[in-house]
Structure 1
């Protein structure tokens, strides 16, 4: 790569109307500042063009000397692509003219024009610009792909097949979420690196910078969580190279079709609305299309993988949530599809992660009255996690004990385990699970958490034991593991036994012996690993269950 010598610089200055700025000029440091202040590169010269003739002169200089040429438009590129060490920068930042043709609805812009300039010029003719969200973005970089132009879509087309191989899933919200967080990336990055740089010698300053960085970083995280939690955020896709090839072909076809659709605004609008509905999946529409959740559902078991998350219906948009599962996204999605916006009580049967780690998803965007937990505060880290999440949202935390009775709407329940006697020490978190005997109109349900046989036998001998006879629905303990007390199963004699377990889990849940024993008693046995999310409807002879 060549270099600009003094003679070439003099010839460049003589041939340009605009200034040529070099490191010897006092305005050099100010000129090389760009949007991302972390970029510190020192070009050999800036050719600040004011017209097309200046552009030609600068390009000819770079060609003749062999020096590397960089182009600066709006200067908004996060990686600082417009600055290259020892290069000649074709600086178009002063060329910001915009010419609008209102009849053709097109605009010609100069190389340094920004979206703010284009917006200002088009608004005069009651026109708008369907591109970008930051007014200082350079139109040239945006159009050529430095912002959200064709290369952004090309990048999505190239990356999506690889992501599909790794995750067997294709995101429908990645591009919109990226657009929403674009303005926050640079400040989060700059402030974060500044905090790292100042920490060794000025920790108070570093903490202040980190606190500032937390705001844009928090926005990025919130958008990511919200997008991922949408019911239609992604679709399953073959996790193989064949699937990747199919996705690449589908993406290219979609891009080609999209360019044709741009000529038809009404079709674009219709497709946008359909995509929005597919991603958001509003419960009323979902119920009409899929039949889920079924009308008049009483109890729902969410499909959250290897964990527990269930909901007791307590009125329109209201439900008592029992356990939160292992994944905030999955439980939030389940509650959205059920239309749950108000939760009088969240019951966390015990503090294992597969029952409490999803708590942020339960609390997100919903009115929650209180959280009730077991008295056995182990594992300690998970118990602390629950208290921390509750405190952050101002939700009170109480502890359940046998004999407690509650009611909300047409729903009532009694805590049957653990004992209120503090002298009774469980063998571990599972045996400290909160167990509930629930009545929903004429329907009786027993939710056993993860109780193991010792606690199950103790429950049978407790004052609540006689109340457990002949329930309609049994939430089988501990994901249907092999460790069940035959006496308790015989006493409850459920008509419907539901098991929450993850597909292909390594624990062997549900155990074939447990399923066989329940069926031998006449129970209908369903599990989320095979049947997906489940919802119980009706009562008596009309008792039924539906899957999603």
Structure 2
């Protein structure tokens, strides 16, 4: 049946719209692109693409209106609704949220048929019991707890909150806002854990998106027969209004996802602050108000103290080597600013970098340096620029002047420069970049001269920016995709001493030579590499690093790697637990 639904939708709608409609109608998210998934998650509208009680209630109301026009008695209508519940459960694969909604609705209908009273708390308890018995492993998933928490909030929290809001707003907007606010408060811990951020604007956005999704559901269900058996031309023409609704929903999700103002990040919270939010909601009940207010104040002070102590204990500078596969993405974070060096391949911006920045509580990166125009360095930065996560883009003078020639060769660089627009600043050979007194960088290469320009026509890596970082007394060397010719030039002029070396070009065989290692003498080296067909890292490079007595960390085996820089102290931690 689900395959037939997908086929019908493909005849009614364009591919991107049909995949979104399949997610809305039957919870089939396989056809959604990564960009669509990310936009709906970051905008707080992901619940629309995960079939839940909202979808079921919308369809049941439409069915009830249709049955009301037929000469059927109440019991007959109730039987039709129960049969529809079973059909919808089978159609959607009995997902956790759908099963919970079907059990609650079915029990309520059965109670009316048997003339027995029902109460929402008892219905919720029954649905959770049935879920636990039929799908015991569902208890281990976030969907179970988010569905239970959101439903409990609608039962216990929405009505008292609507009463309070009704003092300032008309009844309908007050109830609508209370519904959205109560469910968002209830699911806040899971939202922060899964997407690492919550957009406050999702409250009014949901007020627009939910009617759009409801209209799309009803219209899509009504057009399904035409999509199944109707002529293709007629089906495509009839599907245009539905396509318009879905396009509006998609644009709304994309706009909200790109909105940085009003976003709360998981890095800003701790358990005390989350409990303070819970205590604040308990103030809605008069019997709990005094105790809840005291608890709120105590937890708020404790949470703020926790955050303050964590900030004071944080090292002056942290250096993160993110695991972005076969590419580079390095974040330098000081107390007063951030510098992101490269961003990995296209897709890594939304898949890795933005979630990581959200988890660290970084709303926007102050400076982002693109070393050169290759896809595995500039692609993720273009996505950060698209989602308004960059303040200023740093690019080498020579690379910027040569960027018009590289439009066809380096589309990611062109997209990055187009996304950054006015916030582009060029840096030159021997320039200094300062975040604060604990984090300073010097551009070691390349110079913008005829030799480099001629070399860049043969190998775009010739423009790769090489940075030396003085980070709270520890020296880092960021070599990008340094070429053999670029390494030889610095061998002649002299490499600076480095405590940590970012190995050039993912450990390519022709770089990181013995002469370079003798001058830099690194104590640790990081190879940013993923699964590849190039043989990276080369065994010869690993051997030369071992001969130098250097600890080698690889993002492929260690995951993300963090260096904590303090005066006279440098510590390293790997996120995946791998060892050098």
Q: How does 1:424-435 map to 2 (within 5 A)?
A: 424-435=455-466
489, 503, 507: which one pairs with 1:480?
507
Alpha-carbon distance change, 385 to 476 in structure 1, aligned in 2, over 3 angstroms: same
Aligned to 1:535: 563
Take 2:357 and 2:258, find their aligned partners in 1: how far apart are those partners? 18
Q: Give the superposition deviation at 1:192.
A: 7.3
2-structure distance, mates of 1:515, 1:300: 22
The aligned counterpart of 1:327 is 349
Mapping for residues 170-319 of structure 1, pairs under 5 Å? 171=194, 180=203, 182-189=206-213, 212-213=248-249, 215-218=251-254, 221-222=257-258, 230=266, 284=308, 286=310, 294-295=315-316, 297=317, 300-306=319-325, 307-312=327-332, 316-319=335-338
Judged with a 3 Å threshold, the aligned counterparts in structure 2 of structure 1 residues 537 and 423 are, in CA distance, closer, same or farther, namely same
Shift of 1:499: 1.6
Q: Secondary structure at the match of 1:446?
A: strand
Paired with 1:268 and 1:172, the residues of 2 have a C-alpha distance of 29
SS across alignment from 1:537? strand
Residues 319, 493 of structure 1: alpha-carbon distance in 2 compared, 3 angstrom cutoff: same
Offset at 1:352?
A: 1.6
- Distance verdict in 2 for CA 1:501–1:312, change over 3 Å: closer
Aligned match for 2:479, one of 444, 448, 451: 448
CA distance in 1, matches of 2:462, 2:417: 21
Contact 1:538/1:544 (<8 A) preserved: yes
- State the SS of the aligned residue for 1:331: helix
Q: Secondary structure at the match of 1:468?
A: coil
The question of whether the paired residues in 1 share the 8 Å contact of 2:373 and 2:410 is answered with: no
Counterpart in the other structure of 2:39? none
Q: CA deviation at 1:471?
A: 3.4
Q: Give the stretch that moved more between structures: 221-230 or 406-415.
A: 221-230
For 2:377 and 2:176, locate their aligned partners in 1 and report how far apart those are by CA, in whole Å. 45
Query: Aligned pair in 2 of structure 1 residues 318, 70: CA closer, same or farther (>3 Å)?
Result: same
Residues 342, 535 of structure 1: alpha-carbon distance in 2 compared, 3 angstrom cutoff = same
Q: Which has the larger radius of gyration?
A: 1
Separation in structure 1 between the aligned mates of residue 430 and residue 177 of structure 2, nearest angstrom: 64
Q: Comparing both chains, which one has the higher relative contact order based on Cα–Cα distances under 8 Å and sequence gaps of 6 or more?
A: 2
Corresponding residue for residue 416 of structure 2: 386
**Runs of 5+ in structure 1 lacking a partner?**
1-33, 48-57, 72-78, 82-89, 91-112, 154-159, 161-168, 234-261
Q: How has the CA–CA distance of structure 1 residues 175 and 264 changed in structure 2, closer, same or farther, with 3 Å as cutoff?
A: farther
Q: CA RMSD in A?
A: 6.3
2:520 matched residue in structure 1: 493
Residue 546, structure 1, aligned to residue 568, structure 2: no
Cα distance in 2 between the residues matched to 1:477 and 1:461: 13
- SS where residue 528 of structure 2 aligns? coil
2: CA distance between counterparts of 1:465 and 1:194?
A: 72
> Pairwise mapping of residues 20-35 of structure 1 onto structure 2 (< 5 A)?
none
Moved more, 202-211 or 176-185: 202-211
Deviation sequence 1:284-307 (CA, Å, 0-9, x none): 56557xx66x34x2x613323323
| Aligned-residue offset at 1:68 | 4.6
Verify the 8 A CA contact 1:331 1:362 in the aligned structure 2: no
The total of aligned residue pairs comes to 405
Superimposed CA distance per residue, residues 458-488 of structure 1 (whole angstroms, 9 cap, x where no aligned partner): 1244378413153343211122344435245
Give CA deviations for 1:365-415 in whole Å, capped at 9, x if unaligned: 666233315345564321222123213xx42264x66x3523434424124
Aligned-pair CA distance for 1:330: 3.0
